[in-house]
Amino acid sequence: MTRPCVRPAGHDRPAVAAARSSSRAAHRLAERNQAGDTRWVTLSEGPASETAGERVPGPDPGPVAGDDIAANRVLWTGVNAEYGNDHALRAWAAEDVTWGVFNVPERDLGVLGDVAGLDVVELGCGTAYFSAWLARRGARPVGVDVTPAQLSTARRCQDRFKLWFPLVQADAGAVPLPAAGFDLAISECGASLWCDPARWVPEAARLLRPGGRLIFHTTSVLVAMCRPAGPGYAGRELLRPQREVWRLPAPGAGVEFHHGHGEWIRVLRAAGFVVDSLHELYAPAGAGTHPYYEIATADWARQWPAEELWVAHLAA
């Protein structure tokens, strides 16, 4: 199986005080789910929860999106067993924030800024190591992911590191949390790669407060066009037309979504976002080829951008 990009080696949140103050909406959802509503499942709400409130269900994804969601759940259940379960412990233990399969340091990019005191929703959190990193820096994150196996791994890491925050099992295009509840929405090769942008970008806008920021990392449209259909890394030839990779079946299972820059700008603007910056990411000097994810070799990624990091804010 050609291994997908969702998580780099070495990533993931702060102690009980931060967990206790994590999104009140997520805590209310947790109690409602524990009472027997199992469509949306919160696997962790920290050591203390608040009074129950109303669940806010998202829209029905429809049959095509529903098939994509099911395929991606199968894929990431397998990835979690093969790699993610072990990687999560290393990622949660990491002190530095990095981006992508080549671990580009956040200190070199400076896109996050001061996250202390911010309500954060991570869309497609996987094993939630990025949320853990933010929590250690004083943020109040809520992790959202569609794959139970990944969230179970995240829960075990929370118990291991004594670092609790809400984990919500949900499709990133239909998050069962109230609108305007977050200051920052983030996705590191989560929803940003594995959910149709026409669904998850407007949902991110709904979840954010006016002026709230969206930061997302994904693989580049260039690397998608240069990757073979089967196993193997990107080469030096264009193997697919750009218009064909917007929805790209991953080998084995799963569906990726790749937009060109113009289409990303259109989707973001249509949802009410103002684009602040785009960082095209190259492999740093000394970085090695990732041992699991078959996307691009480090040598390839030092010559062409294999990944992208977008920063936008919701117009007030």
Q: DSSP letter string over 68-122?
A: HHHHHHHHHHHHIIIIIHHHHHHHHH--S-EETTTTEEHHHH--S---TT-EEEE
Number of residues that this document lists for the chain = 316
Q: How far apart (Å, rounded) are the C-alpha atoms in residues 167 and 40?
A: 10
**What angle is formed at CA 154 by the lines to CA 6 and CA 14, rounded to 5 degrees?**
105
CATH class of segment(s) 16-314 = alpha beta
Neighbour-count burial for 297-314, b at 16+ CB within 10 Å, e otherwise: bbebbeebbbbbbbbbbb
Instruction: Please state, as a whole number, how many other Cβ atoms lie within 10 Å of the Cβ of residue 44.
Output: 24
- First-to-last CA distance in the chain? 44
User: Do residues 302 and 282 touch, judged by C-beta distance below 8 A?
Assistant: yes
Query: What residues does each domain of the chain span?
Result: 16-314
List the pLDDT tens digit at each of the 316 positions of the chain. Answer: 344 443 333 333 332 233 333 345 454 444 443 333 333 345 544 443 332 233 344 556 665 678 899 998 998 898 888 877 788 999 999 999 999 999 999 999 999 999 999 999 999 999 999 999 999 999 999 999 999 999 999 999 999 999 999 999 999 999 999 999 999 999 999 999 999 999 999 999 999 999 999 999 999 999 999 999 888 999 999 999 999 999 999 877 899 999 999 999 999 999 999 999 999 999 999 899 998 888 999 999 999 999 999 999 999 8
DSSP secondary structure, 273-297, as one string: EEEEEEEEE-PPTT----SS--S--
Give this prediction's pTM. Answer: 0.83
CA–CA separation, 173 and 198 (whole Å): 9
